């Protein structure tokens, strides 16, 4: 129990630090939301009265108080789920805008990352168990794809599967002409069809790393004394491979998996740009391009929370899988 309490306390402190940095960074940037909104209104030819600035300060959460007072207001708004108003999607709330984009990123990048991890670890385990097999010899090919720049691999797949062999669409999250978003078979099927190519790109570019890491750990683990003892006892080879070898060899991969899951949101920017996918990465790019500080702040907060949550979950699982980590704490 002490191990888990220490972990929770550490991540609570890390969460406070992330929230505080998220508060400070936009205030260190040039300009402010009110000035940006007034400039946009002026460019659009809208009338700007003396009361316009005050009205925008009230609406956009502007404050002329001290930094400490602003920090207190920020924490109160955060606890109420109020992240401000998006200038890009004015007058929509940031939480609404992020809530519309986040499921797309989780569905695409999250599921593709999990598939890549499961396949890579499984194949790497078999390659380490059967060294010199065709599967073991396949690893250099898979790692070659990992070395290829991601955007270049994505563009190649787009060219091949949307132009040379037109099997998949090249942009979008679903067919906007024939389907309406909702929990229907037509929409889910369309989303899977449109998401297959970007998901395939993610799997191809990342599976080699999981395979190589797991394969090397299996080779190292198989030389341990407890594996030799288990084999000498005449235990079933499958039991030795799964219960004794793979269970210990997978631990470093779990740590890497936590980082990968945590960066699902931030790592989606290139993917969603290439495939024009309507996720959080595309949203962040739009926010940066339009100086939408409130939206940027909201996306950065989501990224921080996802990284911390993923690492906390894996730390807990690490303690369950390997009791030695709890004993050392």
Give the tens place of pLDDT for each residue, 75-128.
888 888 888 888 788 778 899 999 999 899 888 888 898 999 999 999 999 998
- How far apart CA 213 and CA 127 sit, in angstroms, is 11
- How far apart CA 303 and CA 262 sit, in angstroms, is 7
pLDDT for 321 beyond 80: no
State residue 291's pLDDT score: 77
Share of the chain above pLDDT 70, in %: 86
Higher pLDDT, 265 or 226: 226
The topology (CATH level 3) of 100-328 is: MetI-like fold (1.10.3720)
Cα angle value 182/292/29 (rounded, 5°): 150
Residue 264's pLDDT band, with cuts at 50, 70 and 90, is low
Quick one: average pLDDT of 166-180? 86
State residue 53's pLDDT score: 67
Mean confidence (pLDDT) of the chain: 82
pLDDT for 237 beyond 90: no
SS3 51: coil
Closest CA to 208 of 273, 130, 128, 147: 147
Closest CA to 111 of 314, 305, 260, 252: 260
Delimit the domains of the chain by residue range: 2-79, 100-328
Higher pLDDT, 55 or 5: 5
Query: Bridge partners of 93?
Result: 85
SS (H, E, C) 7-66: HHHHHHHHHHHHHHHHHHHHHHCCCCHHHHHHHHHHHCCCCCCCCHHHHHHHHHCCCCCC
Residue with tokens 């690490």: 318
pLDDT for 66 beyond 80: no
């Amino acid at each position: 129990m002490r191990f888990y309490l220490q972990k929770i306390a550490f991540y609570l402190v890390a969460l406070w630090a992330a929230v505080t940095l998220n508060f400070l960074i936009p205030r260190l940037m040039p300009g402010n939301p009110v000035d940006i909104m007034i400039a946009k209104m002026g460019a659009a030819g809208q009338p700007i009265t003396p009361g316009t600035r005050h009205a925008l300060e009230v609406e956009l959460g502007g404050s002329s108080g001290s930094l400490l007072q602003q920090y207190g207001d920020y924490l109160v708004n955060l606890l109420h789920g109020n992240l401000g108003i998006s200038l890009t999607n004015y007058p929509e709330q940031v939480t609404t805008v992020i809530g519309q984009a986040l499921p797309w990123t989780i569905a695409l990048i999250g599921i593709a990352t999990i598939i890549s991890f499961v396949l890579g670890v499984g194949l790497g385990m078999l390659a380490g168990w059967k060294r010199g097999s065709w599967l073991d010899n396949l690893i250099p090919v898979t790692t070659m794809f990992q070395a290829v720049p991601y955007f270049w691999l994505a563009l190649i797949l787009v060219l091949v599967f949307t132009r040379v062999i037109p099997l998949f669409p090249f942009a979008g999250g679903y067919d906007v002409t024939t389907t309406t978003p909702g929990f229907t078979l037509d929409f889910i099927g369309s989303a899977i069809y449109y998401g297959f190519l970007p998901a395939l790109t993610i799997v191809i570019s990342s599976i080699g790393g999981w395979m190589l890491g797991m394969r090397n750990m299996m080779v190292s683990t198989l030389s341990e004394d407890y594996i030799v003892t288990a084999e000498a006892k005449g235990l079933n080879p499958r039991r030795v491979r799964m219960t004794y070898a793979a269970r210990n060899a997978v631990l470093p991969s779990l740590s890497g998996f936590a980082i990968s899951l945590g960066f699902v949101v931030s790592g989606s920017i290139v993917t969603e740009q290439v495939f024009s996918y309507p996720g959080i990465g595309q949203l962040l790019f739009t926010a940066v391009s339009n100086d939408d500080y409130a939206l940027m702040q909201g996306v950065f907060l989501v990224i921080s929370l996802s990284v911390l949550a993923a690492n906390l979950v894996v730390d807990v699982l690490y303690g369950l899988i390997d009791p030695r980590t709890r004993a050392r704490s």
